[in-house]
Amino acid sequence: MVARIFAILAIAGFALIALPLVTELPPMEELTSLARTYVERTPDELGAANVVTAVIVTYRGLDTLGEVSVLFIATAGVGFLLRRQGPAVRSGGDGVPAEPENGPGQAPSEILATGARFLMPVVLLFGVYIFTHGHLTPGGGFQGGVIVASAMLLYFLSTPGGRVGHTALTLVESLSGASYVFLGVLGLVLAAGFLDNRLMPLGEFGRLFSAGAIPVIYSLVGLKVGAELSGILDHLRSREGDHA
Amino acid sequence: MTTALIVVLGVVMLVAAVFAVLHQQLVSAVIAAGVVSLSASVVYVLLAAPDVAMTEAAIGSALTTVVFLYALSRIRGAKGGSDGS
Amino acid sequence: MTLVTVIGLLLVGVGLWAMLTQRNLFKIIIGFSIIDTGIHLVIVSVGYIRGRTAPILDEAVGRAEAGQSVVDPLPSALVLTAIVIGLAVTALMLTYVVQLHRRRGSLLIDDYKELKW
């Protein structure tokens, strides 16, 4: 009961802090000068149509590198904690698990298996489309990577005993991460700064091969995110004999 | 029109969030949390942020839900596992 | 839009309530993910400008008057990466729960008192 009172107090305190956000912050009428600069300079300076992509990949590129590192560390944590290990030690009282009625060994239904076999390549292709066109249309490396991971999810669902080459996942993940940093340093050498996209020609505005290195960098981010999230899913799904 | 839609989605989100917190069945709670994310992705479209909407739709409603369900299937039969708190 | 800000803050409140009062570790993580969604809604809603379109420049949004016709791209960029990281952090927390359950066979936070004082 005391805990409940403290919870109410904490939420009341939060409401007190957040109230000015609602009452005193007027709705935006004009872009701030920073946002205006980004929007107006992106087409000529970077050649990208999607300003959000330009901000993520180039203007705040270092920030994105940090975010990708956080993602990598979280994935590594999941992999480290769920690595295959000896029999689990249990000392909890009634912690004996009930026999799962829907064990991981059960084969998926015909509809799921056939549908997943048909859809997985299409979804994979769609993911690649999303991250290669990140500078032109809504989308980019993060969204494309997530869609690639959901294609892998379809595979995991349709083949419960199926294995993924962990070497391949790790290879894709680390190679794309290393190339990301390498391209960043190359920007430092060939263009104005770290992760500057102008180390490649800007091309014609609105075409696929334009905006310098943005499509390349975002594709690398997409591969990296896709490999990492697939790794998380693969680690978390229960395998045969592993569900204790 | 947009305002009405946002009001409806907001009510859906809040009801689903309260349901997710209070419901005893963990699977239902996870699905309700997915509903919150899915409605949020529609709100992002209405707020002219399609990039965010795509991410939220794919992650919030698909992958997060699946990650929760995978973890649930690993701990089935636990104390407090299926019959809530 | 102030309306969305209010909805987001209410979601944060619900999630905070879940994290503080629920005793099942799973419910606490669900509360965390609801807080996550609420915060993202608040951030995106702050950058919205009524009647404007997405910050993607093409034939429909002329490059010359872009500054007057698009919404703020910065909150979108911020939230985009935060959502992906939110998933990874949620997965990490769930992994901890799975391992705690494997060791001790319980999901209730009352059974883990090592850090309590």
What are A176-195's pLDDT values in tens digits?
888 888 888 887 777 777 77
- Mean pLDDT of the A189-206 span: 73
Distance CA C90, CA C86 (A): 6
- Mean pLDDT of the A97-121 span: 69
Token pair belonging to C97: 């729960």
Write out pLDDT tens, residues A7-58: 888 889 988 888 888 888 777 777 778 888 888 777 777 777 788 888 888 8
Interchain CB distance below 8 Å, A60 and C77:
yes
The pLDDT value given to residue A85: 53
Residue A50 is given by DSSP the state B
Distance CA C28, CA A236 (A): 19
Where chain B has pLDDT below 70, the residues are: 77-85
Interchain CB distance below 8 Å, A52 and C77:
yes
Q: Which of A22-26, A222-226, C23-27 has the lowest mean pLDDT?
A: A22-26
Better-scored residue on pLDDT, B56 or A212: B56
Residues from chain A that touch B77, judged by Cβ atoms under 8 A, are 96-100
For chain C, what is the largest distance between any 2 Cα atoms, rounded to a whole number of angstroms? 63
The residue length of chain A stands at 244
The pLDDT value given to residue A244: 37
Distance CA A226, CA C90 (A): 17
Which H, E and C letters describe A164-185, residue by residue?
CCHHHHHHHHHHHHHHHHHHHH
Interchain CB distance below 8 Å, B78 and A50:
no
Write out pLDDT tens, residues C38-79: 999 998 888 888 777 777 777 666 666 666 777 888 888 889
Chain mean pLDDT for chain A: 78
* Residue B84 · residue B23 · CB < 8 Å: yes
**Is residue A96 scored above 60 in pLDDT?**
no
Token pair belonging to A83: 């690595």
**Is residue A241 scored above 60 in pLDDT?**
no
Distance CA A200, CA B49 (A): 29
Secondary structure E strands in A74-154: none
The pLDDT value given to residue A90: 43
CA A26 to chain centre: 33
Interchain CB distance below 8 Å, B55 and C83:
yes
ipTM: 0.83
Closest partner residue to A49 (CB to CB) among C1, C57, C92 is: C57
Interface of C with A in 39-58 (CB under 8 A): 42, 46-50, 54-58
Question: Hey, is the C-beta of C93 within 8 angstroms of any chain A C-beta?
Answer: no
Write out pLDDT tens, residues A130-157: 888 877 888 888 888 889 888 888 888 8
Confidence of residue A102 (pLDDT cuts 50, 70, 90): very low
* Residue A141 · residue A131 · CB < 8 Å: yes
Residues from chain A that touch B71, judged by Cβ atoms under 8 A, are 236
Question: Hey, is the C-beta of A138 within 8 angstroms of any chain B C-beta?
Answer: yes
Closest chain A residue to the Cα of B50, Cα to Cα: A138
What are the residues whose beta carbons fall under 8 Å from the beta carbon of A204, sequence distance 6 or more? Answer: A210
Interchain CB distance below 8 Å, B73 and A243:
yes
pTM: 0.84
* DSSP, residue by residue, chain C: -HHHHHHHHHHHHHHHHHHHH--BHHHHHHHHHHHHHHHHHHHHHHT--TT-B-SB-SSSS-STTHHHHB--HHHHHHHHHHHHHHHHHHHHHHHHHHHHHHHH-B-BGGG--TT--
* Residue A239 · residue A159 · CB < 8 Å: no
